[in-house]
Chains A and B, each alone.
Chain A
Amino acid sequence: MSEQRTQVSIVPDTGFINLRGDSQDADFLNAAEAATGQRLPVKANTVSEGELRVYWLGPDEWLLVCPAEKVADVISQLNEKLSGLHVAVNDISGGNTSMHLSGESVRALFSKGCTLDFHPKVFKAGDCAQSGLAKASVLIGLIEGGTTFELIVRRSFAGYMLKWLRHAGREYGIEFT
């Protein structure tokens, strides 16, 4: 039996865009879909995956994640399609870091520092949640069909987060790539 080891990789050059608008407004949702090519998730704590990963952050707030070189295009599309609506589009790429974690022990590892329930019956593919991990504010999403956890932290917390993961993940043979 080959136990899949817990792997962590920082995804370099990731772009982040914060989008705010009224989720009750069909015009806004349609315009955002026209700009991004995918429907904004309106169900709380879910992530939709397409060209972009779109995380639900609040009833009027989303986080769009994409390769850094696409950010300018996405923002100009959003600004064009959403013009005239009461919205906010902000490039927050400089302030965040994305890590991808895979392996059998990621759920157990997160459970050591987070109050969320990571049981597979509770935290399923396409789910996301903002919470605290080892006291750092984080956004955790289960993406790519449930094989990968994306962990998004403030850039200034990335070093601390990696140190905590290295320490807490030692018993699971954590590897950093």
Chain B
Amino acid sequence: MLLIECPWCGERAETEFSYGGEAGIVRPAEPDALSDAEWADYLFNRTNPRGAHRELWNHAQGCRRWFGVERDTVSYKISGSFKLPSGGEA
């Protein structure tokens, strides 16, 4: 069981959260201008690193906010949580 720190609620059990994949994927501003390969890269290709990974989590059974977590994909050790640039405050 992972202990994940929600930026608002503090450390909670992993069962309260749902996983949202890699953090920092920005939707292209003009999808029509992209080639199929570039669009597929945005949709499907992820870095899948061995080691430090910045990823999205949602505190689904708690405050229901999205936030970011930095987790080591080998040891599962979580080194910290961060609010997303949109803040999630409002």
A positions within 8 Å CB-CB of B: 21-25, 44-45, 57-61, 86, 115-116, 129-132, 137
Contact = CB atoms under 8 A, between A and B. Distances in A.
Given A22-B89, A59-B89, A60-B90, A130 B8 contact: no
B24 interface: no
A155 B89 CA distance: 28
A131 B12 CA distance: 9
B61 A130 contact: yes
**Range, interface on chain B:** 10 to 19
Identify whether the interface residues of A are mostly helix, strand, loop, or mixed. loop
Lowest 10 A-B CB distances belong to which pairs?
A: A115-B13, A22-B90, A58-B63, A44-B8, A59-B89, A132-B61, A130-B62, A60-B90, A137-B61, A59-B8
B63 A130 contact: yes
Identify whether the interface residues of B are mostly helix, strand, loop, or mixed. loop
Interface in B1-44: 8-10, 12-13, 15-16
A57 B61 CA distance: 11
Contacts of A137: 61
Contacts of B15: 115, 132
Contacts of A24: 89-90
B64 interface: yes
Nearest to B8: A44
Given A22-B89, A23-B89, A59 B12 contact: no
